[in-house]
Amino acid sequence: MPLAAGFGGMALDAAGNLYVTTQLEPGAGASTRYNSASDWMPMVLKIPNRGAGEATFFAGTPNNSNTPDNRNTCRDGALGTGQFGTWPYGMVIDKAGVLYVADAACGVRKVAADGTLSTLSPASAASAVGIAIGRGPFGEETLFVAGWGHTLVAMNRLSGETQPYAGVGASVDAHYQDGPTKSARFWGPFALAGTADGRVFVLDAYNNRIRVILP
């Protein structure tokens, strides 16, 4: 198993399997070596026994060559066929064991229990980095997604339908503002956590704050 060049997000299922989004060093098996910053294999790894077991490839394409056709490519399919974009960041898992991955280059991706990768919403959640399941505009089927645009969208995790949820973007001169969701400002909302009562906690990285959005 190659060593990781960089980790993104984690999620734990009811059976104690840990899933990790990562960029892997190119190569094969234990002989893998990191070649350059432009070589990567964005993958999801599965580690049983609450992370104490042996890691295996779960979703994506292992040992994928760094060619123009593969680089930043969004491809649906089973393990060995499906491909993430530049970097899979945040990840969350539902009660059925379906993973939802914030793929910065490809939007929100779904990973089924068998590792099959599909695209839930490509364009409307582009640059996605943070993701959480919670109660919101789409009831219990709501995903909250944060991106490099410093805003949050609400997404129906069944249909992929989205709508703006919080934040109006940010700049160096105007990047922090509490208040109603339509006027609040975030600056780097890179990680999210949702609650059953509709609250959303936001790791607002560049503002050095943990924020909460009330329902």
The total number of structural domains in the chain stands at: 1
DSSP category for residue 35: -
Q: What percent of the chain has pLDDT over 70?
A: 83
Per-residue pLDDT, 5: 57
- Three-class SS of residue 46? strand
Per-residue pLDDT, 164: 93
CATH of the domain at 105: 2.120.10.30
pLDDT over 70 (residue 179):
yes
pTM, to two decimals: 0.88
pLDDT digit string (tens) for 66-78?
Answer: 666 666 788 999 9
DSSP string, 93-141: E-TTS-EEEEETTTEEEEE-TT--EEEEESSTTTTEEEEEEEEETTEEE
CA distance 25 to 7: 11
Per-residue pLDDT, 124: 60
Per-residue pLDDT, 198: 95
Per-residue pLDDT, 113: 94
Which domain, by its residues, includes 43?
4-213
Among 22-26, 69-73, 184-188, the range with the most confident prediction by mean pLDDT is 184-188
pLDDT over 90 (residue 61):
no
pLDDT-derived band of residue 31, with 50, 70 and 90 as boundaries?
Answer: very low
